[in-house]
Amino acid sequence: MKIFVLTKKSLLVAAVFLLAACFALPTFFQSVETSISTKELPIYSVETSDKKIAVTFDSAWNDDDIDKVLKALNDNNCPSTFFVTGDWAERFPESLKKLHSAGHEIGSHSYNHTLYSTLSKDEIIADMDKCDSCIEAVIGIRPTLVRAPSGDYTNNSILACKETNRYCIQWDVDSLDWKELTEEEMKARIFEKVKPGSILLFHNGTKQTADALPGILTALKNEGYTFVKVGDLIYKENYTIDHMGRQHKASP
């Protein structure tokens, strides 16, 4: 067993460290508080009493299943929002026209899926502009909604959107369809988290999504949910975003 002998010198050293810690703690907590308060967040969901939700798709791979996806959406009266990359718009202009003609909303998903965490704010703005120009060249409309590639947002990407009058959109319900889950597995994930104001994430160009959509959408309708586009779900002004990314209408 070790025996520690406290000497005047050791007591003095301990007192100095304790005093230094007392002075450092307020600065430390202030730094943490500042870091938290300056964290920029996209819109994950929207606070609403109505049972309305937004079904969204990321389009960056292929367009093989677009017709089946469109049929499932049309059969279930489900206007949706598609976040497309600029190079997808260039490769599949006819599919983009189909989405637009069917009344679905088109958002930006970067030009070629470069992670925005690797870019500066100015580079992000340039990339969003490039993507929007590709989309506009096909359907004549420039998007105002943006989803960061892989949801990989940073303060720079949120500020880039704010400074250019765009809205950065995330999601609070992830189907994980790209992992080739079955319809029942996707349903279980969705119904575990879905609530009024939710934004759901799907992808076109996956193995199971198009076939699973009819059953998923029907099940959501049976639970009393209605479908709206993201642009019709979110608040465009006078709003706040809480620490969970949930958008709230600001008090008058």
The model's pLDDT over 176-204, given as tens digits with 9 standing for 90+, comes to 999 999 999 999 999 999 999 999 999 99
Sign of CA dihedral 157, 179, 192, 104: positive
* Mean pLDDT, residues 154-170: 97
8 A C-beta contact, residue 234 and residue 167: yes
Counted residue by residue, the chain has a size of: 252
pLDDT of residue 38: 74
Chain-centroid distance, C-alpha 185? 21
Q: Specify burial of residue 131 (Cβ count, 10 A radius: 0-12, 13-18, 19+).
A: buried
Write down the residue that tokens 């990407």 correspond to: 157
* Mean pLDDT, residues 58-81: 97
Q: Over the Cα atoms of the chain, what is R_g?
A: 24
* Mean pLDDT, residues 11-29: 48
pLDDT of residue 164: 98
